[in-house]
Amino acid sequence: MNTNPSRGPYHFQAPSRTFWCPVRGMLPHKTNRDQAALERLKVLDAIPPPYDKKKQVVVPTALKDVRVKPTKKFAYLGHLTYEVGWKYQAITATLEEKRKEKAKMHCWKKKQLLRLWKKAEKNIEKKSASSQRSSRPTDSLFMILNDKTVDIEVSKCFQTLNFFGKRVITSTASTAVSTLMINFSWQ
């Protein structure tokens, strides 16, 4: 009897699809409800660009140290799929290294801006204490970054940034600093 291999069973090689296949087997995936649930499930190899800026979380109940006995054998899904025929393990590893370097630079820039923001707040406190002027809802903050002056109006409920004629209203001080970083782009 002849068979057509293109009709299945499909042997997925990527780690994401290798994980997706048993998840589908755990669901009654032919019902409308579970088809919709499977469509909402996103399984990806490594961390692609739209998700590398999101906060990463760890599920403590799913950790190997909690779930697997110390004497039991275990394997990494990436290594298993590489042995089965997945060709992109090296490429994924290099892309992951680049992503980590970019994340490290982003974190460093954010810390520098936070340090400058705290320094500017201290300067405002000194100015307001020395001048003893009446308390207004907004105060102005001047920051000098790379010989460019940025005027930031600080309010109780919102932040307004005047950046060379561009007005940007943000909800918190940290968002104001990140908006400043986006507009300034560290030239």
Please name which of 160, 52, 144, 54 lies closest in space to residue 98, comparing C-alpha atoms.
Answer: 52
Q: What is the predicted pLDDT for the residue at 1?
A: 64
Helix 173-184 / helix 89-131 crossing angle, nearest 10 deg: 110
The CB density around residue 151, as the number of other CB atoms within 10 Å, is: 13
> How many CA atoms does the CB half-sphere of 84 hold within 13 Å?
14
Q: Is 116 helix (H, G, I), strand (E, B) or coil?
A: helix
Intervals of the chain under pLDDT 70: 1, 131-187
Identify residue 83 by its one-letter amino acid code: E
